[in-house]
A and B are shown apart, each in its own frame.
Chain A
């Protein structure tokens, strides 16, 4: 809770700083809207579940968050020919979450291995500061960006398999995550307004999954090392 608060304040400072920069340099400023598709490979690594009435420790019960493609859009404000602030959004993707069961567990628990135990939707706005190499008139412009990611898991659905594994109807909660993000990419300038951009991005995302089944809570800590591949068409005005 305290950590989230600190990060929150950092965000405010960043936003405020970005806003000041924008106001100072309006001469060559321009907006770019980008839309396209993105594929999110969460590359999750999750701890074994901890809590009452589980095997172990280690319990041998963990999860794996699966890939998902979604629609991407962003709005960027370039305040000089080489720098822009970009707010990256997307239609919130819903990831399948599969059970990962260690081989030392009894057969009736093994049976859950690989089964879908949850569906989790994430809302993950990311604010980037991008530096674009080359001239404004260059056809090809590589860029790098660094930013701040906020991830909220707003919709969580427990499957029948999960309820069987946990021992009853199970409420899922995932804590919010704040973390640094980075991206690198390449833009192709089609004309004065249109451009095509490909990028790869990642972010530091950490969350704690808490399951509540008939009053019994168990936890899994999840770290994501996402690889987000995005292809967009941009319109600059």
Chain B
């Protein structure tokens, strides 16, 4: 009896001592896990790091040649930048609720333009196969999103713009098991949801929105930026200006060009990402992946990308061919001249890389696509007629491309289309060039500006002379080091982005200045 009394006393003492327990996080975090579109899941969002203007400059200077080159293009950071990581509710390609994450960069400081209300730059990133892509994670230069995040921060945030850059559904912590790649409807919603959530976060992180909204993005992000501008405009929301860069805007024409044999660099990576995206959204691309992909590659290809495994490993494991999109055997008599094409001669070696016996896309699928392309031709490929997409394509892949083709709308706010005309990955003429042609009245009216950074300055008053000369220097330096092939490899992913992004910033600053 005495024992139990003793133990009970000890127990009571222990319980008394435990009174007033729990966790005190030293501040409030508002949590919204409703999953609603545009919901900000955690407010204030996580601060990844904060860099003073001088720290940021030192970091770029210490970041090797790439950092120093970037610094030369962006100019020295003048604002301090707080890097935030935010999570938001959005939807997938079939309208299913999901979540995604992104970067919110907020400038501050005493230099002119660093305090008070700031314009927002909404940025759409380019194609990545890395499932762990996080543009907010600049803690280590080796992280997959660090170089694009650093470029954005140096170009925009350190110069007084608030930056909102989603990682997209299907990346980082997103619960979506695929990425709605180049799905204009989903990707514009994803961008708008990220913007909505980021705006909710601003009061808690000392950011003040001036109301000016700029949209830009590179490559895939160029397409996404334009689709977002179109969607906001359709919803009656004002976009101050936009600058889509090196994007596959005329997706159906671009797709036809590739199937006609103009295989671009990276095609074997883009093809499975497109097929998965459109299969999830429309459900009619194939009955099974082996309808479209060769048996060697079909198993598991629908869940292959994006992946935590590096592309080099996936190639080495034989999950995808590096360049051979199509068979070097013509799909039917009469297609010899495009298997592969030998014209134009300067591009023939590039196109030839896209053909072989380890091809990804089945000849039967290519043939079905080409038959439909001949029966219901695009207005720009193979010959320019209307310039518009085919009205009623029969092939489901072509239908998907047309659905996500951005021809046929008219921007109401200033738009800069920037690219490089020798881009081996996203062809310039069939995308930027074609849009410029369709928008020629807008170009004349100075609402749309077209910039080919791979061209000579038009004269002393060329506002983009610096971008063009910078690009020419970078290209020459790459050629001097690794020859013409190095230029081809670096063109889309390394050479063009900083100069087009710098041009976009100049364009936005000029729009801001002319509004005053």
User: Chain A interface (Cβ within 8 Å of chain B)?
Assistant: 19, 22-23, 31, 52-56, 73, 75, 77, 87, 89, 91-92, 106-108, 121, 123, 125, 152, 154-160, 162-163, 166-173, 212-216
24 contacts between A and B (CB under 8 A): A31-B2, A31-B6, A53-B48, A54-B139, A75-B6, A75-B10, A77-B3, A77-B6, A92-B17, A108-B49, A125-B14, A154-B22, A155-B20, A158-B23, A162-B26, A166-B46, A167-B48, A168-B46, A168-B47, A169-B25, A170-B25, A214-B45, A215-B41, A215-B46
Does B26 contact A53, Cβ atoms closer than 8 Å?
A: no
Supplied contacts A108-B52, A214-B29, 4 more A-B pairs, CB within 8 Å: A54-B139, A168-B45, A168-B47, A213-B29
User: Are B2 and A168 within 8 A (Cβ)?
Assistant: no
In the assembled complex, which residues on chain A have CB atoms less than 8 Å from the CB atom of B28? 169
Chain A, residue nearest B50 (CB)? A108
Q: Are B10 and A216 in contact (CB under 8 A)?
A: no
Instruction: Note all chain B residues with C-beta closer than 8 A to A92.
Output: 17-18
Interface string of B192-219 (1 = CB under 8 A from A): 0000000000000000000000000000
Residues of A close to B47: CB separation below 8 A: 167-168
A158 surroundings in chain B (CB, below 8 A)? 23-26
Query: In the complex, A213 Cα to B87 Cα: how many Å?
Result: 12
Point out the residues of chain A lying under 8 angstroms from B476, CB to CB: none
**Docked complex Cα distance between A170 and B45 (Å):** 11
CB neighbours of B316 from chain A (8 A)? none
- Docked pose: A77 CA to B6 CA in angstroms: 9
User: Which residues in B have their C-beta under 8 angstroms from that of A75?
Assistant: 6, 9-10
- Please tell me if the beta carbons of B139 and A89 are within 8 angstroms of each other in the complex: no
Of chain B, the residue at the smallest CB distance from A88 is B10
- The answer to the question of B236 belonging to the interface, with a C-beta cut-off of 8 Å to chain A, is no
Distance from B7 Cβ to chain A, minimum over Cβ atoms (Å): 7
- 1/0 per residue, CB under 8 A from A, across B15-53: the answer is 001101111111111010000000001111111111110
A155 in contact with B25 given A56-B140, A89-B13 (CB within 8 Å):
no
Given contacts A73-B13, A87-B10, whether A157 and B26 have CB atoms under 8 Å apart is yes
Bound Cα distance from A77 to B139, whole angstroms: 57
| Chain B 39-75 per-residue mask, 1 if CB under 8 angstroms from chain A, else 0 | 0011111111111100100000000000000000000
Q: Are B134 and A53 neighbours in the complex by a CB distance under 8 Å? A: yes
Interface presence of B123 (CB below 8 A): no
Give chain A residues whose Cβ lies under 8 Å from the Cβ of B17.
89, 91-92, 123
Chain B residues with CB below 8 A from A125, complex form: 10, 14
User: Which residue in chain B gives the minimum CB-CB distance to A15?
Assistant: B7
Q: State the CA gap A151–B42 with chains docked (Å).
A: 31
Query: Are the C-beta atoms of A159 and B26 separated by less than 8 Å?
Result: yes
Nearest CB of B to A94, in Å: 11
Contact B23 A216 (CB under 8 A): no
Query: Chain B's nearest CB lies how many Å from the CB of A27?
Result: 14
Q: Is B378 close to A, CB under 8 A?
A: no
Give the A-B pair count, Cβ closer than 8 A: 117
6 interchain residue pairs of minimum CB distance: A169-B27, A154-B21, A167-B47, A214-B42, A214-B46, A169-B25
- Residues in B with CB closer than 8 Å to A171 are 23, 25, 29
Docked pose: A158 CA to B137 CA in angstroms: 24
Q: How far is the CA of A153 from the CA of B137 in the complex (A)?
A: 32
Q: Which residue of A lies closest to B41 (CB)?
A: A215
Given contacts A54-B139, A75-B9, contact A155 B26 (CB under 8 A): no
B136 at the interface (CB under 8 A from A): yes
Of the candidates B44, B47, B48, B51, the one having the most CB atoms from chain A within 10 angstroms of its own CB is B47
Query: B85 at interface (Cβ–Cβ under 8 A)?
Result: yes
Q: How far is the CA of A60 from the CA of B85 in the complex (A)?
A: 21
Instruction: Enumerate chain A residues within 8 angstroms of B46, measured Cβ to Cβ.
Output: 53, 166-168, 213-216
A215 vs B22: C-alpha distance when bound (angstroms): 18
Q: Report chain A residues within 8 Å CB of B85.
A: 53, 167, 214, 216
Q: Taking the nearest CB of chain B, how far is it from the CB of A144, in angstroms?
A: 22
Q: Report the separation of the CA atoms of residues A110 and B27 in the bound assembly, to the nearest whole angstrom.
A: 23
Query: Chain A residues with Cβ under 8 A from B14's Cβ?
Result: 89, 123, 125
Please determine whether B29 and A168 come into contact, CB atoms closer than 8 angstroms: yes
- Per the bound structure, the CA–CA distance linking A170 and B13 in Å amounts to 30
Say yes or no: B3 contacts A19, CB within 8 Å: yes
A39 to chain B minimum Cβ distance, whole angstroms, is 18
Chain B residues near A107: list those with CB within 8 A. Answer: 55
| Interchain nearest-CB distance for B507 vs A (Å) | 32
Residue of B7, B24, B87 ringed by the most chain A CB atoms within 10 A? B24
Residue of chain A at shortest CB distance from B17: A92
The answer to whether A169 touches B26, judged by C-beta atoms less than 8 angstroms apart, is yes
Tell me, rounded to whole Å, the shortest Cβ–Cβ distance linking B9 to chain A: 7
> B21 to chain A: which residues have CB within 8 Å?
121, 154-155
Closest chain A CB from B369 CB (angstroms): 41
Tell which of A77, A155, A169 touches B29, judged by Cβ atoms closer than 8 Å. A169
